[in-house]
Amino acid sequence: MTFNPSDLWAVAPEMVVLAVALAVILIELLATRREGVLQGVAAVGLLAVMAVAVWSLGRPTGAFNGMVARDGLTVFVKLLLAGVALLAVLMSRDYLMGLDKSAPTGVREEVKGNPPLPPPAIAGGEAGVRHGEYYALLLLATCGMMVLASATNLVTLFLGIETMSLALYVLAGIRPERPRSGEAALKYFLLGAFSTGFLLYGMALIYGTTGGQTNLSMISKAVADLGDGAPVMLFAGVGLLMVGLLFKVAAVPFHFWSPDVYQGAPTPVTAFMSVGPKAAALMAFIRLFGWALPDLADVWGPALWMVAAATMTIGNIVAIAQRDIKRMLAYSSIAHAGYLLIGVLAAGSPGVRSAATASMLFYLVAYFLMNIGAFTIAILVSRARPDGDYQIDDYQGLGASHPYLSAAMALFMISLAGIPPTAGFFGKLYLFSAGVNAGLVTLVVIAVLNSVISVYYYLRIVVYMLMRPQPSPVEVRISPAMTAVVLVCVVGVIKFGVLPGSMMDWARSGAENMAQPTPQVVVDVNDPSQIRQSDR
């Protein structure tokens, strides 16, 4: 196996993210611990990542002997992921500073019977967030997502999932003095470890039944060769793999971790987690099920159909009952994962594969903008409360005291509900029409009915803000960074809601410009003549 230096272009964005993460750690250790500097380095670094990602765009091809793809789809998703990370970095500073000022919140939720926990006994320093490691972990998680989104081999897929997950486990628990944060991290870690087990077992079964293939195109070929004689073990492998990935996108019935983790994790991390891993895991879904295993659509299609229907229905119905806006947005994000699974199902039918992928990309962009925007405003409103809680009741009468903020929140809610003229509407339109073209009419009807249900709980916040007399005015202070984040989201949601054409064209060209690399060198380990003398 030879090394080709141009292969490095395929992972150039990942390399830059990694370099920026290391730089952030080193700056904190050696130069300064001022958060502004660390945040600035992370933000500028992410802009550089985006530039490199655009620059790395080229003829669709593979790299590292078919381990990763270098194509338009990958670049599109990498840009999206860098954007998610950038906005998460920008909204983090005020959040972490705001918490540092407020008193410890652990007392209220103390477990009975145990003495209060002492401050975490991490050697060498005071409790609290080291900002350097916070931003570094955010960047490392982004790196893992990028690897996951460009993986064309089961091994790189696993590597990406683990890099992403390990960083996210720590990020969920980065406020060790708050019991909820620790609970979130522990739940996420334990359940995530189980789901990794499922994923690996599925990979092992696929490896075994396809004659030792890990490259996705080679698996596709092997499955086609097996034809009707495919063993049950292969179906079991595909099913287990699906469980592992569905856990990462928080689809029903593998969603139980997500409301607790979303509620317990620091809110910028929650915003990041609700978009980034979903986008990356769905790209892995598309490559695996849409491109590599369409021959088995009879097997995974019905299962995924049921999961998609259950995900959007349960997500939307349970969201109605929530009084905490973070939990409500968690269930709403479960419901949106259900809508997005329609795209994966549609990609399984060869005729609409590119169109379905493009509509998913557009939907992810729209969801990214409106969801990050909603979380940013949730942070701002919660910080106005002395206990930093996230009650939906806090939004009562917000329209009178903070008209611009309320208008932005109303826009995000309308977009999440999928009402025109917003990006959310066109996202749903493209996604559902791809579903109809793929013949998934019943599922699309279920999805449309679900959108109607979701209008209730999204618009409840708008009603609270604009149509309720104000009981107690909350004083919301907005910093420049937060203003920038909200503005980017507002402009994006309106722009792609009024003129969706340009973004859809990019998404389409990204989806059509897709590589399915195969390994050039295939060594058959059972054939002694293929092993070089020097390797013996």
**Contact positions toward another protein, by CB under 8 A?**
3, 18, 22, 25-26, 29-30, 121-125, 133, 534
Q: Are the C-beta atoms of residues 388 and 106 closer than 8 Å to each other?
A: no
Nearest by Cα to 180 from 62, 248, 99 = 99
Which of 185, 334 has the CB closer to another protein?
185
Sole residue written with tokens 């790196």: 143
Which of 156, 258 has the CB closer to another protein?
156
Least Å distance, CB 194 to another protein, is: 21
Least Å distance, CB 26 to another protein, is: 6
Least Å distance, CB 74 to another protein, is: 22
Long-range contacts of 111-114 (CB under 8 A, 24+ apart): 111/179
Q: Which residues have C-beta within 8 Å of that of residue 160, sequence separation ≥ 6?
A: 144, 145, 146, 147, 148, 149, 150, 151, 280, 284
| 3-state class (DSSP) for residue 296 | helix
Which of 26, 441 has the CB closer to another protein?
26
Which of 130, 428 has the CB closer to another protein?
130
Q: Are the C-beta atoms of residues 151 and 516 closer than 8 Å to each other?
A: no
Which of 22, 441 has the CB closer to another protein?
22
Half-sphere exposure of 361 (CA within 13 A, CB side): 30
Q: Which amino acid is at 293?
A: L
Classify each residue of 458-497 as buried b or exposed e, where b means 16 or more C-beta atoms within 10 Å of its C-beta. beebbebbbeeeeeeebebebeebbeebbebbbebbbebb
Which of 11, 87 has the CB closer to another protein?
11
Q: Which helix (H) or strand (E) holds 157?
A: helix 154-172
Least Å distance, CB 100 to another protein, is: 19
Least Å distance, CB 93 to another protein, is: 21
Least Å distance, CB 23 to another protein, is: 9
Least Å distance, CB 174 to another protein, is: 15
Q: Are the C-beta atoms of residues 241 and 284 closer than 8 Å to each other?
A: no
Angle at 462 between CA 461 and CA 463, to 5 degrees: 90
Angle at 477 between CA 394 and CA 136, to 5 degrees: 100
Q: Are the C-beta atoms of residues 301 and 293 closer than 8 Å to each other?
A: no
Least Å distance, CB 143 to another protein, is: 12
Which of 123, 475 has the CB closer to another protein?
123
Least Å distance, CB 8 to another protein, is: 11
Which of 140, 238 has the CB closer to another protein?
140
* Tally of CB atoms within 10 A around 502: 10
Query: Which three-class secondary structure string do you get for 330-357?
Result: HHHHHHHHHHHHHHHHHHCCHHHHHHHH
CA distance 172 to 72: 32
Which of 24, 462 has the CB closer to another protein?
24
Which of 94, 133 has the CB closer to another protein?
133
Which of 8, 384 has the CB closer to another protein?
8
Least Å distance, CB 3 to another protein, is: 5
Long-range contacts of 466-469 (CB under 8 A, 24+ apart): 466/399, 466/406, 466/410, 467/399, 468/396, 468/397, 469/396, 469/397
Q: Are the C-beta atoms of residues 258 and 330 closer than 8 Å to each other?
A: yes
Q: 70: which 2 tokens?
A: 């270098």
Which of 113, 229 has the CB closer to another protein?
113
Least Å distance, CB 57 to another protein, is: 25
Least Å distance, CB 132 to another protein, is: 9
